[in-house]
């Protein structure tokens, strides 16, 4: 099975400091390594460059200028990949960094796909992120939920998993409505589902529920299932891989 896992900044860092959540990241790499050892092809789409850069520089808020954001991303991306390389190597897995922009996907898509496919043939784990260091408003993808969806579609993935700081899609905002219920399975993404999306509540992330639903629209039309689940305990990836009802499952569209 070919699996794409997207992990958000809020999953990788401590909310009060923005610094790396070491225990969670160690657990994430351990579980992903085990899933790969089962014979699955694994692609990791990882946010976190700006958040880690902020933590390393001791910044409490994102810079409000483009050069500031890009400089922080440059610092954080080094930290991010160093950590992934170190942790995955403990389980005898090699990682490869792939930084993309919207322009790469739109105009150099074949080259991107060929590179990632070759990494998979080498039994590597491609770690993909948006190239925040050079992105401008004209060429940025905008969020890694969308990036992961485009990667899943382009590489014919079987399953796309988004690990976030939420449990899944609810009938209403659970932070405001105590009677909000988790929706375990979505067969069709229609207007009633799209209306359930709210704004992002994370200070370090860029995407909210709307970007996740848009991602689900992309992958389900491309014959790929998608799951949104809470990444606070990466062991839930085992349950997802075993088809247990964890988070919200968006079923791929059945082609007639």
Q: What is the DSSP string of 134-167?
A: T--TTT----HHHHHHHHHHHTT-SEEEEEESS-
Strand positions, DSSP E, the chain: 2-7, 41-46, 95-100, 125-130, 159-164, 185-186, 225-230, 248-250
Tell me the pTM.
Answer: 0.91
How many residues are present in the chain? 256
List, in sequence order, the alpha helices (H) in 164-255. 191-194, 209-220, 236-241
Residue-wise pLDDT tens for the chain (256 aa)?
A: 999 999 988 889 887 777 789 999 999 999 999 999 999 999 999 988 888 888 889 888 888 888 898 899 899 999 999 999 999 999 999 999 999 887 788 778 888 999 999 999 999 999 999 887 776 654 466 688 999 999 999 999 999 999 998 899 999 888 788 888 999 999 999 989 988 886 544 443 444 788 999 999 999 999 999 999 999 999 999 999 999 888 999 999 876 5
DSSP secondary structure letter of residue 159: E
* 3-state SS, residue 216: helix
* Residue 248 confidence (pLDDT): 96
* pLDDT value of residue 109: 82
CA-wise closest residue to 211 among 233, 232, 226: 226
pLDDT of residue 202: 44
3-state secondary structure of 186: strand
């Amino acid at each position: 099975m070919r699996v794409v896992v997207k992990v958000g900044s809020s999953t990788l860092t401590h909310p009060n400091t923005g610094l790396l959540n070491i225990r969670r990241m160690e657990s994430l790499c351990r579980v992903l390594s085990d899933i790969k050892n089962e014979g699955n092809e694994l692609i990791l789409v990882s946010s976190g460059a700006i958040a880690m850069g902020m933590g390393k520089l001791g910044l409490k808020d994102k810079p409000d200028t483009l050069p500031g954001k890009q400089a922080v991303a440059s610092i954080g991306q080094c930290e991010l990949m160093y950590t992934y390389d170190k942790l995955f190597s403990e389980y005898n897995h090699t990682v490869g960094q792939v930084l993309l922009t919207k322009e790469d996907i739109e105009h150099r898509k074949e080259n991107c796909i060929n590179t990632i496919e070759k990494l998979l043939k080498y039994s590597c784990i491609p770690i993909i992120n948006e190239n925040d260091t050079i992105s401008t408003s004209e060429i940025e993808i905008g969020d890694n939920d969308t990036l992961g969806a485009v990667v899943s579609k382009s590489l014919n993935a079987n399953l796309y998993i988004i690990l976030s700081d939420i449990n899944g899609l609810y009938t209403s905002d659970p932070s405001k409505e105590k009677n909000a219920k988790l929706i375990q399975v979505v067969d069709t993404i229609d207007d009633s589902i799209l209306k359930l999306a709210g704004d992002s509540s994370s200070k370090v992330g860029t995407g909210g529920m709307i970007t996740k639903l848009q991602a689900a629209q992309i992958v389900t039309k491309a014959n790929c299932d998608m799951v949104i689940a809470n990444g606070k305990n990466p062991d839930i990836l085992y349950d997802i891989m075993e088809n247990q009802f964890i988070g919200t499952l968006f079923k791929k569209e059945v082609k007639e």
